[in-house]
Amino acid sequence: AQKITQTQPGMFVQEKEAVTLDCTYDTSDQSYGLFWYKQPSSGEMIFLIYQGSYDEQNATEGRYSLNFQKARKSANLVISASQLGDSAMYFCAMREALRRDTDKLIFGTGTRLQVFP
């Protein structure tokens, strides 16, 4: 079963507008973490934001916020005031326990965001 689902292969947004990128997840763990990464065309993976399963407040980092709805198992990324430089692939990821001494990130298939003037 797919653990992380990103249903939007591509999104368009006009500069200065807000955009929401969807992410749903599936886990039976009580303790887990959710991540969003940005991957520009250069290929590097840029960490954006993190949400822990026990965090009561939604995570925010500058123009990025994570709309965490635990009961619905969703962790949508909201980018406010979009900029042309936000055009990139965006990946949602979840950390679940792999072994007692470590864990691994499981990635969604990504959403390609294009910001137009």
**Two structure tokens written together for 99:** 């072994």
In the list 36, 37, 68, 90, the residue contacting another protein (rule: CB under 8 A) is: 37
> Is 31 in a helix, a strand, or coil?
coil
Q: Which is nearer to another protein, 45 or 78 (CB)?
A: 45
Nearest residue to 37 via CA among 80, 75, 72, 84: 75
Does 23 bind another protein (CB under 8 A)? Our answer is: no
> Percent helix, strand, coil in the chain (nearest 5)?
5, 55, 45
DSSP 65: E
Pairwise CA distance, residues 82 & 78, whole Å = 10
Candidates 14-22, 62-70, 73-81, 107-115 — which segment interacts with another protein by CB under 8 A?
Answer: 107-115
Residue 29 C-beta: closest distance to another protein, Å: 10
Rg of the Cα trace of the chain?
A: 14
For residue 24, how many C-alpha atoms fall within 13 Å in the half-sphere facing its CB?
9
Q: Which is nearer to another protein, 57 or 102 (CB)?
A: 102
Per-residue x/- track, 42-81, another protein (CB under 8 A)? xxxxxx--x-x-----------------------------
List residues binding another protein (CB under 8 A): 31, 33, 35, 37, 42-47, 50, 52, 91, 93, 95, 98-99, 102, 104-105, 107-110
